[in-house]
Structure 1
Amino acid sequence: MKKILPIFSYILHPIFISMYATLFYLFCKGDIFTNQEKYYVLFQILIITILVPVLFFMLLRSTGHVKSVMVHETSQRKIPLILQCFLYILLVKRSIVIMRYPELHFFFLGALFSTILALIGSLFKIKASLHMMAISGFTVFVIGLSIHLQMQNPYWTALMVFLTGIVASSRLVMEAHTNKELLIGLALGIFPQMLFLYLWL
């Protein structure tokens, strides 16, 4: 089991959560959008939340500013988190606009606030689990969207809670975080999403 759990730290890496959330959103509201629009949205998410951060990470790694894709040191997190903030702002301002994609818009807005809080924490050398922050925010979004669309399907919620536990276990097995850091990440992911739920739920 200890050999399997670390795999989830990569499968559920924060860099992929935006894509997973978008896929879930488009799946749940599939009748509203054309296939062409779905592909266009997914392409934007792919470029902005995955390809750009990966290229930027490669640049930072080549210059010695980061050592690992997991970015363990708080001092190495500042630049990636600042970039992530700007990318989320770009998304909510230009791509995932409130008039067309209200629920997804507020998810990314919540993710932006979570990232800002994580950045502030890193400035004070407070380390939060970014994995837990991402997966817990995604979990709240799935639960909120399930309620909003009256999906009557408890399996999505159960799956997300299970995956949150798996990610926490994975980070502990890899000795990447302490329990405190996992709880901080959990709180940073949940509370901004909960606050924005009131605006669209």
Structure 2
Amino acid sequence: MIHHILKSISFIFHPLMMPLLGVLFYFSKTPRYIPDPIIKAKVFSISILTIVLPILLFYLLKTLKKINSFYLETTQERILPLILNTLIIALIIYRVLTHNEIVELYYFFIGILCSTIACLILAILNFKASIHMIASAGFFMFAVALGIHYKININGTIALMSIIIGAIATSRLHLKAHTGIELTIGFFIGLIPQLIMLNYWL
């Protein structure tokens, strides 16, 4: 029973979901007036580019036998998907969330891009940092920064995210997907770029 619960946690809080969650969280908390059509267009674009497109690319890579499984169990399997994800994030920054539109989300995705590149470099060096931890830590830092920026109480979100991050780490250890050091390195790879980006928008 516990095995299935922990496996479900890894699935529910998949790294592909975190950029969209960051965008949705921003739009739910920002006091700025942003017309509904713009919000819907941004959310739709991010959903397609960060969830639908990567899933389709994964199936393509699996069909072409470039990866053995969707779990990317080896560092070599991670390299091509991470390169493709880097290109997707760069496209979002260049076309969807430009600097002169929504500066907070622009730098959120700059942070995601830096984390993805760092993860790619480590994969090339044969180190498998936890992408689950990278994604969740990045969202966590962005949420905290928004709370400070807009002076709003997000204690509930912080508490919930702390529990979720702990559950994700427990899940990845239980499933033997990562070691403790891989989880720790992943956490800081996700958090530090977002922390650095605060200098540009907070």
Same fold (TM over 0.5): yes
- Aligned-pair identity (%): 36
Contact 2:144/2:154 (<8 A) preserved: no
Matches within 5 A, 1:15-164: 15-29=16-30, 32-164=33-165
Letter of the aligned partner of 1:64 in structure 2? K
Deviation per CA, 1:103-139: give whole Å up to 9, x if none.
1111110000000000000111011000000000110
Q: What is the distance in 1 between the residues matched to 2:56 and 2:45?
A: 15
Report the CA distance between 1:52 and its aligned residue.
Answer: 1.1
**SS of corresponding position for 1:77:** helix
Report the CA distance between 1:26 and its aligned residue.
Answer: 0.9
Q: Post-superposition, which runs of at least 4 consecutive aligned residues in structure 1 deviate over 3 A?
A: none
Report the CA distance between 1:36 and its aligned residue.
Answer: 1.3
> Which residue is equivalent to 1:171?
172
Which range is displaced more, 160-169 or 64-73? 64-73
Q: What is the distance in 1 between the residues matched to 2:85 and 2:187?
A: 18
1:172–1:96 Cα change, 3 Å: same
1:30–1:67 Cα change, 3 Å: farther
Report the CA distance between 1:30 and its aligned residue.
Answer: 6.4
Gaps of 5+ in 1: none
Q: What is the distance in 2 between the residues matched to 1:27 and 1:8?
A: 24
Deviation per CA, 1:54-79: give whole Å up to 9, x if none.
11100000111112222111000011
Gaps of 5+ in 2: none
> Which residue is equivalent to 2:9?
8
**SS of corresponding position for 2:56:** helix
Contact 2:20/2:46 (<8 A) preserved: yes
**SS of corresponding position for 1:140:** helix
TM-score by length of 1: 0.96
